[in-house]
């Protein structure tokens, strides 16, 4: 048996390539970054070939610097940032930069979809049309770039383009397809109703694969530039949140995932295709066959801390900021932060809301600002947890993942605000681990995801609610919760002011 599988995680800021052995031990990991382009306010784009070049560089380093033998690689799979629109022409050439998940230019197109399809859209997709999703981006290109639209032969999602360049095969997987809001979740086929309604030829939708299904093999061209062996099996992979759920072992409904990455996610395994949160929460196919997950996304979770760091303390590490926050007590001395720095997706689908610090006092120190940011992000997650509670979904454990899960303070804040046991994992970068699990199952190392996660996913520590802190947060959360209603119109007027005066 060959020794390794590789997982490739196409993130928003960088690609991470992880090599693991049969026991899930990380034997090598390399990453490479790429630029994020903001040609206008609300626009967020990347060049698909930047993802490919960075992936090739990371793979090359894995083979040369970490001395992973290409001949010992049993299979490769992917996790990818969701929703990003990649458009190819008849020669499979990229027609324009990819429009990403955090791009908010498509409010008008979302309104059009709502007007034309209303409840029928939610019945088909179990989602509302929101700015981040792929369909409104397609409609934006139709309307604003007709010369590009005329040339479109196929659309792909980010990881699919990287896979295409490695194998020469065009396809997507079901978990990423649901994120386009063009898949009929009831029939598991591209929705001809949606495509017909918006004059989209069904032929531009890629063929569909299950996550651990073979999608092709490394082509001889890609073998030459990367150092991989041609013929190495490549498996379809999954949307990053589906891969993360796999990498956190979320294969059953008792637990909920809380992810603090650039964006933030509260995610729950859903066994039943009929579940419908009417689009307040997203509903997507899981990486497992015949399973689903729901989730709410806070657009700027870790990104709120990034903003604070690059604006006010550029030379301090995240670890140093987290240490400083320990000087501030529970409740940050009455300073409350809402993390709506780039608008919000859930529970408020609002591209115009913006963040705020409420209760600012001349006694507040920088530590209070940092702590209020950590708390505000978790309050925004609590807004999402409340939706599950209102739907009578009971769970006893929150599994915390993403870069923010490195901090014991942030883990304890979660236990205290959620009033639930919080588990941290040995490997909090679950999207890339999930991609390796998909490859390991695809390669036949394990019979199914459960068998593989039993070996690959390891809990590090549990954090338990501290009664006194829980009481304090139960007083503060209702105050946080009111800030959205009170700042909504103010934010809208301020955005208009910016647009008229920039």
Ligand X SMILES: O=C(CO)[C@@H](O)[C@H](O)COP(=O)(O)O
Ligand Y SMILES: Nc1ncnc2c1ncn2[C@@H]1O[C@H](COP(=O)(O)OP(=O)(O)O)[C@@H](O)[C@H]1O
Q: Which residues bind ligand Y (CB under 6 A)?
A: 11-13, 260-262, 302-303, 305-306, 318-319, 322, 402-404, 406-407, 410
Of 367 and 385, CB closest to ligand X: 385
328 φ/ψ angles, rounded to the nearest 5 degrees:
-100, 140
417: closest CA among 359, 357, 373, 475? Answer: 475
Task: Please state the residue numbers annotated as binding site.
Answer: 82-83
DSSP bridge partners of 270:
292
Q: Which does 82 bind (CB under 5 to 8 A by kind): ligand Y, ligand X, none?
A: ligand X
**What spatial distance separates the first Cα and last Cα of the chain, rounded to whole Å?**
61
Rule CB under 6 A: is residue 350 a binding residue for ligand X? no
Of 45 and 303, CB closest to ligand Y: 303
Known catalytic membership, residue 489: no
Rule CB under 6 A: is residue 12 a binding residue for ligand X? yes
Half-sphere exposure of 209 (CA within 13 A, CB side): 24
Rule CB under 6 A: is residue 24 a binding residue for ligand X? no
Q: Which does 406 bind (CB under 5 to 8 A by kind): ligand Y, ligand X, none?
A: ligand Y
What is the 8-class DSSP label of residue 250? -
**Marked catalytic residue, from 173, 240, 285, 416:** 240
Retrieve residue 471's tokens. 């009481």
Q: Which does 403 bind (CB under 5 to 8 A by kind): ligand X, ligand Y, none?
A: ligand Y
- CA dist list (Å): 100 to 13, 42, 113: 12, 11, 19
Q: Which does 420 bind (CB under 5 to 8 A by kind): ligand Y, ligand X, none?
A: none
Rule CB under 6 A: is residue 75 a binding residue for ligand X? no
Rule CB under 6 A: is residue 343 a binding residue for ligand X? no
Name the segment binding ligand X (CB under 6 A); options: 49-57, 75-83, 89-97, 148-156.
75-83
DSSP bridge partners of 5:
20, 75
Peptide bond into 347 cis (omega under 30): yes
Q: Which does 306 bind (CB under 5 to 8 A by kind): ligand X, ligand Y, none?
A: ligand Y
Quick check: 461 and 399 in contact, CB under 8 A?
A: no
Of 345 and 420, CB closest to ligand X: 345
Q: Name which of residues 219 to 278 contact ligand X (CB under 6 A).
A: 240-241, 261-263, 265
* Least distance from ligand X to the Cβ atom of residue 261, Å: 4
Taking CB under 6 A as the criterion, the residue among 24, 132, 158, 331 binding ligand X is 132
d(CA 234, CA 16) in angstroms, rounded, equals 17
Quick check: 257 and 293 in contact, CB under 8 A?
A: no
Q: Which does 241 bind (CB under 5 to 8 A by kind): ligand Y, ligand X, none?
A: ligand X
Instruction: For residue 31, give the H/E element and its range.
Output: strand 26-33
* Least distance from ligand Y to the Cβ atom of residue 430, Å: 9
Of 89 and 306, CB closest to ligand Y: 306
Alpha helices in 236-335 (DSSP H): 240-247, 302-312, 318-325
d(CA 378, CA 400) in angstroms, rounded, equals 11
Name the segment binding ligand X (CB under 6 A); options: 79-87, 304-312, 330-338, 491-499.
79-87
Quick check: 281 and 288 in contact, CB under 8 A?
A: no
Could you identify the residue written with the tokens 């295409």?
164
Quick check: 325 and 409 in contact, CB under 8 A?
A: yes
Task: List residues with catalytic annotation.
Answer: 240
The residues of the shown chain that bind ligand X, judged by CB under 6 A, are 11-12, 81-83, 101, 132, 240-241, 261-263, 265, 282, 297
């Amino acid at each position: 048996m060959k020794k390794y599988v590789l997982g490739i995680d196409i993130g928003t800021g960088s690609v991470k390539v992880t090599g693991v052995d049969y026991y899930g031990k990380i034997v090598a990991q390399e990453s490479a970054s790429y630029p994020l382009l903001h040609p206008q306010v609300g626009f967020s784009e990347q060049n698909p070939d930047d993802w490919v070049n960075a992936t090739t560089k990371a793979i090359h380093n894995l083979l040369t610097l970490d001395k992973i033998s290409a001949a010992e690689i049993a299979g490769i799979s992917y996790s990818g940032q969701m929703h990003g629109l990649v458009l190819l022409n008849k020669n499979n050439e990229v027609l324009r930069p990819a429009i990403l998940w955090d791009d908010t230019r498509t409010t008008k197109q979302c309104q059009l979809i709502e007007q034309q399809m209303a409840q029928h859209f939610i019945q088909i997709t179990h989602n509302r049309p929101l700015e981040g999703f792929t369909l409104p981006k397609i409609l934006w290109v139709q309307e604003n770039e007709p010369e590009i639209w005329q040339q479109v032969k196929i659309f792909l999602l980010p990881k699919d383009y990287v896979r295409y360049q490695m194998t020469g095969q065009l396809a997507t997987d079901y978990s990423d397809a649901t994120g386009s809001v063009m898949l009929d979740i009831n029939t598991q086929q591209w929705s001809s109703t949606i495509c017909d309604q918006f004059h989209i030829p069904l032929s531009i939708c890629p063929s569909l694969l299950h996550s651990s299904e073979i999608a092709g093999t490394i082509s001889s061209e890609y073998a030459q530039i990367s150092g991989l062996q041609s013929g190495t099996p490549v498996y379809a992979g999954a949307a990053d949140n589906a891969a993360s759920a796999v990498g956190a072992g979320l294969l059953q409904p008792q637990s909920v995932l809380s992810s603090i990455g650039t964006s933030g996610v509260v995610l729950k395994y859903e066994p039943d295709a009929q579940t419908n949160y009417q689009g307040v929460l997203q509903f997507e196919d899981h990486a497992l066959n015949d399973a689903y997950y729901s989730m709410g996304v806070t657009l700027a979770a870790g990104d709120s801390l990034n903003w604070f760091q690059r604006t006010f303390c550029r030379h301090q590490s995240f670890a140093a900021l987290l240490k400083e926050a320990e000087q501030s007590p529970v409740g940050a001395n009455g300073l409350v932060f809402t993390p709506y720095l780039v608008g919000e997706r859930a529970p408020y689908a609002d591209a115009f809301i913006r963040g705020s610090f409420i209760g600012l006092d001349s006694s507040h120190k920088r530590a209070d600002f940092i702590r209020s940011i950590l708390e505000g992000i978790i309050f925004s997650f609590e807004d999402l947890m409340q939706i599950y509670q209102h739907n009578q979904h009971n769970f006893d454990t929150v599994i915390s993942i993403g870069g923010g899960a490195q901090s014991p303070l942030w883990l304890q804040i979660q236990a205290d605000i959620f009033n639930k046991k919080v588990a941290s994992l040995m490997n909090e970068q679950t999207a890339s681990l999930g991609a390796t699990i998909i490859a390991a199952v695809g390669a036949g190392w394990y019979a199914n995801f459960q068998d593989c996660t039993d070996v690959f996913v390891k809990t590090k520590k549990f954090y338990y609610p501290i009664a006194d802190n829980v009481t304090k947060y139960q007083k503060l959360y209702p105050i946080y919760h009111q800030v959205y209603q009170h700042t909504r119109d103010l934010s809208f007027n301020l955005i208009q002011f910016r647009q008229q005066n920039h």
